[in-house]
Structure 1
Amino acid sequence: MVDWAQMRDCWFEVDRVPDLLERVERDDDADAWKELGWRLVLEHDLVSPASFAALPRLVHLAPRSAEARGLAGEILERAAGHHGCDDLLADCAGAIAEFRKVLERHLRSWPADYLVSFRALLSVEEEYHWAAVLGDFKDDFYPLACPHCGVEVTIAIGDYGRYSAIRNWDLGDVERRDLRPVAAEELTGTGRWMHGTAARDGQEALADGIAYLFGNAECPGCASVFNVADEYTSANRPVMQ
């Protein structure tokens, strides 16, 4: 049984979250969902004890609620942060395992909220850096440093092109080099799982973008070739305590 009197939310209050949960469970209240979202997740990766205390109830709603799936995913996306709630997170292990099953079933149905649910599943699988940034590959940018010369490289994957470049704030992306996608059969590990899931579910644009994300890029500065996903992961994956 949750002692809500001890579960402050992101606004350091203890009385609103349980009331809001009851409202969304009873009426699927849009205003309650909106307030619940900013009480459980704030910008700058801030979550609170109430966020993890609410997670099992959100997972219970997740099979029938896009709002619950999205909010539960946002909370888990921040699970690697310095939230001071490790004991509460550990208590959510059963709910997280159930959330994985819910998401896997949901993704196979070709839902309208596919990308949101896919990112939530990435959070469940502790791929936090991809959950935080993966887009629909219409207008995606991944900044990183060349591992050989250190120059800042912009990786672009979108409708406007798929390239590495030097970003010039006056001229735009200059010195463009075409990205080199990886073949599906050459993918391994996380990339193989991400691509295979998207391809299985008929998400062709997502699968194609992932092939570029896990492919190779040429540095416009020194002409060396490096793996995009490896460098982005090295720079952005949280170090688990």
Structure 2
Amino acid sequence: MELHDDPEAWKELGWRLVLEHDLVSPASFAALPRLVRLAPRSAQARGLAGRILERAAGRHSCDDLLADCAGTIKEFREVLDRHLLSRPADYLMSFRALLAVEEEYHWANALEGFTDDINHVDCPHCGVGVTTVIGNFGCYSQVWDGGEEIRRDLRPAAAEELTGTGRWMHQITVRDGQEVLANGIAYLFGKAECPHCASVFTVADEYASANRPVMR
């Protein structure tokens, strides 16, 4: 198939490589080297390669296929890092692809840009389901008690308090001038108060605990 800049050709290729129900296959990984070669000059190639990796973790027996693509994935990491430095229009898509390259699959699949991101976690102390909202409508935790909505403001982490993945994500987005993403990450890795029992927990810890894929 000749791709060039043909949207329909890219759509058809995407259907072939990222199958129904977001499954990936050996053919998906076989296509990665060509997609990565095209990635420096093609948003479609970056996006499709990122989608393959986002869906690869711990499911569908992909671990061996990932290992076989280690060199290609390393090359893709370098391509993405250079691209992000240019502050491109497809920044969020490319940043999510970088998260997948770094095996942060749950964050690659979760980030929506913090315009109105909603995550559901269980309070680690009382077990009640808590909705966390980060975006244009506010940054808060929420539960419903009967017909009454109860909210508590989220507490963002200061840059110097961040560690591990949260620190790395924040540093990359600050480096690249992505203020909205950096601010959202500070809230995501900050603290929430459970509106039901008033205990305090880290949003990212509870989300990662529930959603981080089990590698086999």
> Under a length normalisation based on structure 1, what TM-score does the superposition of the two structures give?
0.86
For the 8 Å contact 2:58–2:214, the answer to whether it is kept is no
Residue identity over aligned pairs, in percent, reads: 74
Q: Does 1:55 align with 2:32?
A: yes
Q: Does 1:220 align with 2:205?
A: no
Offset at residue 39 of structure 1 (A): 1.2
Q: Does 1:197 align with 2:172?
A: yes
Separation in structure 1 between the aligned mates of residue 112 and residue 20 of structure 2, nearest angstrom: 18
Tell me the C-alpha RMSD between the 2 structures: 1.5
Q: For residues 167 and 137 of structure 1, do their structure 2 counterparts lie closer, same or farther at Cα, with a shift above 3 Å needed?
A: farther
1:116 to 66, 88, 93: 93
Separation in structure 2 between the aligned mates of residue 167 and residue 124 of structure 1, nearest angstrom: 38
Amino acid paired to 1:239: V
Q: For residues 167 and 197 of structure 1, do their structure 2 counterparts lie closer, same or farther at Cα, with a shift above 3 Å needed?
A: farther
For the 8 Å contact 1:165–1:220, the answer to whether it is kept is yes
Consecutive unaligned residues in structure 2, runs of 5 or more: none
Amino acid paired to 2:11: K
Q: Following superposition, which runs of at least 4 residues in structure 1 exceed 4 angstroms of deviation? A: none
For the 8 Å contact 1:45–1:81, the answer to whether it is kept is no
Query: Which region of structure 1 is more displaced relative to structure 2, 81-90 or 144-153?
Result: 81-90
Corresponding residue for 2:214? 239
Q: For residues 92 and 206 of structure 1, do their structure 2 counterparts lie closer, same or farther at Cα, with a shift above 3 Å needed?
A: same
2:42 to 62, 65, 68: 65
1:98 to 75, 80, 95: 75
For the 8 Å contact 2:22–2:55, the answer to whether it is kept is yes
Separation in structure 2 between the aligned mates of residue 123 and residue 43 of structure 1, nearest angstrom: 20
Consecutive unaligned residues in structure 1, runs of 5 or more: 1-19
- Larger relative contact order (C-alpha < 8 A, sep ≥ 6)? 2
Query: What is the SS of the residue equivalent to 2:21?
Result: coil
Q: For residues 205 and 43 of structure 1, do their structure 2 counterparts lie closer, same or farther at Cα, with a shift above 3 Å needed?
A: farther
> Under a length normalisation based on structure 2, what TM-score does the superposition of the two structures give?
0.96
